[in-house]
Structure 1
């Protein structure tokens, strides 16, 4: 999955946005809420003052026992009189106004000015116009049951917003003259004073203020983000870009690159350190190139000397192994003759020891001879189409007698004809070596499995034993010459350490691959793969016909 990468400046930008937006957003939201609460509190205070003034006016009228108003005056019109309480004077006829009538008249005046209005409400009104609405009815019950002193609400009526405030009205001793038929007592709640304030203008102003606050807040947020982003680019991103360009130049080989950061801060110091580092790298490179040139010359001379020594070693081993073959063959013939003629048991034991070590020496000389010829590319190869599955079957039949002593079973299921272009004798040598190793390293009464698989271009052979296994650290070294696998136990199999190296050289000459897989203490499996049809190898002479 491809990792999502974001540049540093955009990371800074996202951090600024994620910090500034919520912070200032919360601040402006809180300010808007506070302004709204303050506006609401202001409306409530206005209603309280107004209600208090009305209550005080009613109190004054009550304390005066009512007031007399000229019936013919403008102030006496449109007021229902429930009591025939008139007074004749030299100035005309006067009607006594109760606190309720005064309240009603003042409400008419306020309603005409469209600023506010108020009314009286009672559950048992003398005047039907004082019948309470739903809010007023609930408020009066609330005043009576829970002893609260006020209640209010913001409401909407046909698209017009208003504020309704209500306080309880208590019966006083002077009020019992008109309101004693229900059996109410002094200080009982008779009803309430309901004040209505028009808050549309206030709401409109508050909405405009909120809009202005939102515009100002948004502008401030964007200006803050923009300012911080510009400052961040100037004082952080730009110096980092300069340092990045310098490191790119240095990584591309230009050690003369320098950076110039004149910010007077930590980046300026860092730029000077980078320049000092580049100067040190430049001087070090020059010294290193001189040392590399000298070391290269020394290594070249040493390599030529090693190649000469290696050639001398290979020539020596090839000559020695060739020269040893003849005397070893003679000795072998003598040992065979003695085996046929000597009958004494002690002497035959000595001959058996000599014969065993002679066989190992002959095997070592043969391996040395083969490996030196392959390594020196002096071997002759004969690549022809051959049936690999048949070859495996023949090798198994030849080697089967070696399994008798350890009671080992070799399992091989012939899959049918598999034609491969190969040097038959060399591949037979590889199979013999791998199967013999499997027999040597297998426990008694186990089995060795040989498998073969093919595809359109390759064929793969595997030889699996049930032996001691090979540790992971030795799997890569076992194909090197003179390499042996450490094995626990007193019956450790011995070998020359050249068998697998010869197998590797043979398989690689076939443009193939050989490898091993193992589980320590359980089993080892050796594989080799060959091309079914290989190109003519270069550097080797074909076998004579």
Structure 2
């Protein structure tokens, strides 16, 4: 409404000024024409100082234009005055001075007693010589009264328009912004922890687009909330399991009556293993927290991936040899890229470690390094138990394990792949998986050759 009111005021002022200027210019044009006519008719008399003839001409035209006409000779002496007030006197009016210099002028004055008066002066030229000047003054109060009347009508129309606009706006306000009530209701529900809200809008406007975006956001928040609850439940379960085992083993030791050192050693070894498992879970949880930080610093350095993989494979080979698994590294080319070597090493170790864990004795785990288009590819292939096709999309979820019973046996926490994926994502890379049950899996770690830092 404020915008409409300001706009109408600006328009009214503009129209008022425009109409006033048009009327004034028309009046100026008409008076200038009369002034030139008077100049043409009096120029002969000005050379002979025939005051009576000049005055009669001034009086005649004065009646036609309803104004005052003053005619002066080239010395400024008044030779004709329609009011007969200044006859014979020297007249030094500004417009007269301009006219005696050969300039036509027209100005508007606002007098307290007379109101708005238009002064027009023209030179009287005879044989290319200025012989005098004509000054005409006419009241233009009628123009200002007409413009004032037009302004009143404009303001009346504007006031009626504002009232109509306000009425229409308030009538349709509820209809137009009714969808906002749905948003308000949904947001109130969200503040109470209910992420099942949904905004239903059947229009084809911006509200519909906003509702779709809002519903998508709600769905995502609901998924995040569910993941959070699952995460808390899984963390609680994972931490409780080794703690319960340690408690059980400790109680068994306390109630043990035998002095057999081997039994105590066996129990202490089990307690140590559970403590290591608990420590591993805490370490991986802390790693996830670090990776979730928005301002995590990635220390990019130019790294020879061949050397890095050789170091990783040599480090993992003793673990593979415990299960008589053949761990090999194949390098077809030398590859040098920018990565955070410490973090990318952790991601690769986690995936190779998984391959070894889920490969049976006398199996094979092959690691390959090669370039593919814009990617540096690290391929980890095993002939282990494989992953069902319908589970491939879930294997990077935190604490997710395809076979929980086997994971308990191998000591997995379900966090390794999630950590690897986040590290690779931080490097603007991706991890792809192919797997067939009982035949094995292939993990492709793809890191861009030219990372945008």
TM-score calculated relative to the size of structure 2: 0.44
* Larger-Rg structure: 1
TM-score calculated relative to the size of structure 1: 0.37
